[in-house]
Structure 1
Amino acid sequence: MTVVAESRPLPRVTKLPLNADIGALPTAVDPMALSLNENPFPPLPAVRSALIESIDAANRYPEFLPERLRHLIADHIGISDEQVILGPGATGVMLQVLHAITDPGNRIVFADPTFEGYAIISAMVRISPIKVPLNSFGRHDLDAMADAASEAKVVAICRPHNPTGTVESAAKLDAFLQRIPSDTVVLIDEAYAEFVGPDHRIDSVDLVRKFPNVVVIRTFSKAYGLAGLRIGYAFGSRELAAKLWAMQLPFGMSTTSLVAVAASYRAESQLRHRIRLLTSERRNLQSRLRGMGIASTEAHANFIYLPANGVPWHDVFDDAGVRVKHYPDGGVRVTIGGRSSTGAVLTALRNKL
C-alpha cells in the first residue's frame, strides 16, 4: 500500500499576539492548505516557550516508559494512571491497540468513508476490514455496524466522524454499545472531541466505566495544534489498558511531549479561546455556503464535508489551488483555516458554480 504525503516547504515561524483572532491567521499559515485538518494556529505562546526551553535536554533520553506523561493526562481527565496508554498520535495509539488485541485474520468494522488510517493500520497488523456505508445523513449506520460486529474482533467509531463531522447522540451510542459482544473491543476515536459543543458532548469516562470493552482514543494534534509532535493517548478499563500498556514502546514518547502537554494544560483557557474562534469560523463558512445553495453535513469538528451531489469538486478546488481532501465517493472535506482560507474556498466556488 502506498501512501502519498502532501508535499510542502518547511513552515516559517510566526509569533502571534496572545489575543490574535481568526483574521490574523493569513500571516501565519498557508491559506490554501486545507486537506489535513491541521489547526491553523501555531503553538500557544506558553507552549512555544516551554518547548524552546526543553531543547537543552535533547541530548538526554526520555523516560523509559512515559509514566509522568501518563499521570499528567490521567489526572487531567480524572481517571487512574493505569487506565491510560500513549503513542505517536491517535494513529500510533490505535496501532498499539490492534497489535495487543488482534491476531492476523481477525476482522475490524468501520464506516465507509472514514479516516483512511483505519485501513492502513489494519493492513499493517493483517486484519480484514468490514466496511459499513454511512447513512444518508453522513452518520454511522449503527444498526448495521452492530450486526457486523458479531464477525469482528474490533469496531471503530469516530466521533465526530471523519470526514463528515457528524456525531451520534449519547443515547444512540449507548444502545449501540449494548449490542456489541463483550469480547469485541470498540474504539471510540475522539480526535476532534474538543470542537464538539456542550449540547452534543458525551461522558467518555462514564462510557469506559459502563462498557469495559471500550477504548477511547484522543490526540493533541488537532485542537491543541501539536500535530508535528505526535502525541496521542487512549484510556479504557484497567484490565484492558494493562494489555495495551504491555505494548508501550520504550523511550517511545519524547521529553517534548511531556513539556508540551503540561504547558497546554496550564494554558487551557487560551486554548478554549482558539477553539471558539475556529468553531465560529466553521459556522461562518457553513452559513455562507447555505446562502449559495451548497449543502454540507452537520459538522462538529474543525472541518466541513461537501457531498458529491454531482459537483466536480476536483475542478472547483484544484483549479483554484485550494488543497482539500477528496474522497472516492466524490465528496470533499475542507479544513477550517483562517479568514483568508474561507475567502479562498468561497472564491473557488463562485468562479466555478
Structure 2
Amino acid sequence: MPDPSARPDQPEERIRLRPALEALPAYVAGKPAADDGIHRFKVSSNESHLPPVSEVLEAATAAMTGANRYPDAAAQELRAALGERHGVDPTQIAVSTGSVAVSGDLVRALVGEGDEVVFAWRSFEAYPILVGSHGGTPVPVPLTPTGEHDLPAMAAAITERTRLVLLCTPNNPTGPSLSTEQVEDFLARVPEDVVVAIDEAYREFHDPATVLGTAGIFRRHGNVVLLRTFSKLQGLAGLRIGYAVAHPRLARALGQVTVPFGASAPAQAAALVTLRPHVAEELESRAAAVRAERSRVLAGLREQGWVLPASQGNFVYFPLGERSGEFAEFAEARGLVLRAYGTDGVRATIAEPEANDRLLAIAQEWRAG
C-alpha cells in the first residue's frame, strides 16, 4: 500500500521491515493542551506539576557547560550513590534513559524470538510495544474488576517459553498496588529462571506505611529486578533517567545491551542531587502533598457516587469503558486534558489544587448530565 506521507519527488521505498511491526501498537503519549485561548490544565501524562528543586536545576545547568563531551557512560558517581541507597554493589545498578528504557534492556537481555513476557493488562502502555518490537510474544493477563493484578492468573500464564514477568505497582493507569505478601506468594509459583521485574515508577506516592517491601524481596529472590525512575516525583521527565537494581549476572547483561552514553550528563548530575538528604526531604514533602490531594480527590469523587480503583499513584482512574473518549472530550472542553485509554478508562494526574478542583467539578457535572 502506498505511503500517504510520501512526496511525489521522493524515490519509492522498497525496504523490508520486520513483519512484527505490522501488529505493533503505537505508544500514545499524554495529549498536550490545545493553544486556543482557553486555559487548560494538562493532567494527561503523570508529570510533576512542580519544577525540579532549585539545587537540582542548578546542577543540570552547570553540567551543560560540558555538553561538548560525552557523559560518563558508566554513570559511576550516580551508581555509587544508588548502590549505597539500595545496599548493593554499584555494579548492580543499571542506568538508562528512564525506567522504560531499562525495561527495554531487560527484554533485549532475556527475550529471544518467540519467547514470552507476562504482564497485567491494562498496565503500562509500553510493555507490549517493547516486547513485540524485539520479537517476543506479549502475554497480557486481564486485571481484576477492581483494576488490580490478577496474580493467580498471571502465575498460571507462565509457560516454558516465559522469560520475563512485569509487575507494575502501583499499577499505571489504574492505581492499585501489590503487597509484600502478595508478591512473595506469587514468587513462590514462579520458576527461578524466570525474571520478575517490579516496576515502581510511582513508589514515592504510595502510603509509606504499606509500601511494598522490595528491598527484602530483592535480597530473598535471585530472579527479581527492581525498576525505578526520576521522571515522576523528582520532576526529571524531560531529562529521561531511570535505573534498575539487579543481581550481578543480570546487571552485567543489562550493561551489554543498553545504548552507550544513554544517560546524559545533565540527567546524571540532576539525579545525583535528588539523592542528597535535604533535597530528598523536600521531595518527600512534595510526595506527602500529592498523597493528601489524592485522598481529597478520591473522597470527593466517591461522595459524588463514583466507584474508582484504590489508587496509590499520583493519579486516579475512571473505568468508563465505551464512554472513555466522550468523558475525555467533555473534560477538555472545560479546561482539563485527561488521558483516555481506548474503551477501558480515563486517567487524571493529581496536580495543583486548582486542577484537582476542576476535575471534581467536571466529574460532578458529568454525573449530573
Same fold (TM over 0.5): yes
CA distance in 2, matches of 1:350, 1:201: 31
Asked if residue 348 in structure 1 is aligned to residue 362 in structure 2, the reply is yes
1:102 maps to which of 106, 111, 114: 111
Cα offset, 1:292, TM superposition: 0.9
Q: Is the 8 A contact 1:165 1:304 kept in 2?
A: yes
Q: Is the 8 A contact 1:65 1:248 kept in 2?
A: no
Q: Is the 8 A contact 1:31 1:338 kept in 2?
A: no
CA distance in 1, matches of 2:40, 2:224: 38
Name 1:62's counterpart in structure 2: 71
2:197 maps to which of 164, 184, 187: 187
Structure 2: runs of 5+ lacking an equivalent: 1-24, 34-38
2:94 maps to which of 85, 94, 108: 85
Cα gap change, 1:123 to 1:287, in 2 (>3 Å): same
Partner SS, residue 156 of structure 2: helix
1:280 maps to which of 292, 300, 305: 292
Name 2:308's counterpart in structure 1: 296
Cα offset, 1:205, TM superposition: 2.2
CA distance in 2, matches of 1:281, 1:31: 19
> Which of 245-254 and 258-267 deviates more?
245-254
Q: Is the 8 A contact 2:96 2:262 kept in 1?
A: yes
Aligned residue identity for 1:286: L
Q: Is the 8 A contact 1:316 1:349 kept in 2?
A: no
Cα gap change, 1:197 to 1:5, in 2 (>3 Å): closer
Name 2:82's counterpart in structure 1: 73
Q: Is the 8 A contact 1:224 1:264 kept in 2?
A: yes
Cα gap change, 1:162 to 1:4, in 2 (>3 Å): closer
Q: Is the 8 A contact 1:155 1:185 kept in 2?
A: yes
2:157 maps to which of 138, 148, 152: 148
Cα offset, 1:62, TM superposition: 1.1
Cα offset, 1:216, TM superposition: 0.8
Query: How does 1:204-223 map onto structure 2 within 5 Å?
Result: 204-223=214-233
2:341 maps to which of 323, 327, 331: 327
Q: Percent identity?
A: 33
Aligned residue identity for 1:33: K
Q: Is the 8 A contact 1:313 1:330 kept in 2?
A: no
For residues 59-80 of structure 1, give each alpha carbon's deviation from its aligned partner in whole angstroms, at most 9, with x where no partner exists. Answer: 2211132222211211122211
Name 1:49's counterpart in structure 2: 58
Query: How does 1:21-40 map onto structure 2 within 5 Å?
Result: 32-40=41-49
CA distance in 2, matches of 1:297, 1:351: 20
Asked if residue 197 in structure 1 is aligned to residue 207 in structure 2, the reply is yes
Name 2:182's counterpart in structure 1: 172
Cα gap change, 1:304 to 1:70, in 2 (>3 Å): same
Cα gap change, 1:310 to 1:100, in 2 (>3 Å): closer
CA distance in 2, matches of 1:251, 1:136: 42
CA distance in 1, matches of 2:104, 2:250: 15
For residues 206-243 of structure 1, give each alpha carbon's deviation from its aligned partner in whole angstroms, at most 9, with x where no partner exists. Answer: 21221111111010001111101111100121122122
Aligned pair count reads 334
Cα offset, 1:152, TM superposition: 1.5
Cα gap change, 1:317 to 1:53, in 2 (>3 Å): same
Cα offset, 1:309, TM superposition: 6.8
Q: Is the 8 A contact 2:322 2:343 kept in 1?
A: no
Provide runs of 4+ in structure 1 moved above 3 Å. Answer: 1-9, 309-312
Partner SS, residue 188 of structure 2: helix
Name 2:271's counterpart in structure 1: 261
Name 2:13's counterpart in structure 1: none
For residues 165-222 of structure 1, give each alpha carbon's deviation from its aligned partner in whole angstroms, at most 9, with x where no partner exists. Answer: 1012211110101100111111110000111112221221221221111111010001
Structure 1: runs of 5+ lacking an equivalent: 10-29
Partner SS, residue 191 of structure 1: coil
Q: Is the 8 A contact 1:313 1:331 kept in 2?
A: no
Cα offset, 1:7, TM superposition: 5.9
Cα offset, 1:250, TM superposition: 2.3
Aligned residue identity for 1:222: K
CA distance in 2, matches of 1:348, 1:241: 46
Q: Is the 8 A contact 1:69 1:258 kept in 2?
A: yes
When normalised by structure 1's length, the TM-score is 0.89
When normalised by structure 2's length, the TM-score is 0.86
Cα gap change, 1:125 to 1:174, in 2 (>3 Å): same
Aligned residue identity for 1:342: N
For residues 34-88 of structure 1, give each alpha carbon's deviation from its aligned partner in whole angstroms, at most 9, with x where no partner exists. Answer: 1111111100011112222222111221113222221121112221112111111
Cα offset, 1:122, TM superposition: 1.0
CA distance in 2, matches of 1:272, 1:77: 17
RMSD, aligned α-carbons: 1.9
Partner SS, residue 347 of structure 2: strand
Q: Is the 8 A contact 2:118 2:138 kept in 1?
A: yes
2:148 maps to which of 136, 139, 152: 139
Name 1:15's counterpart in structure 2: none
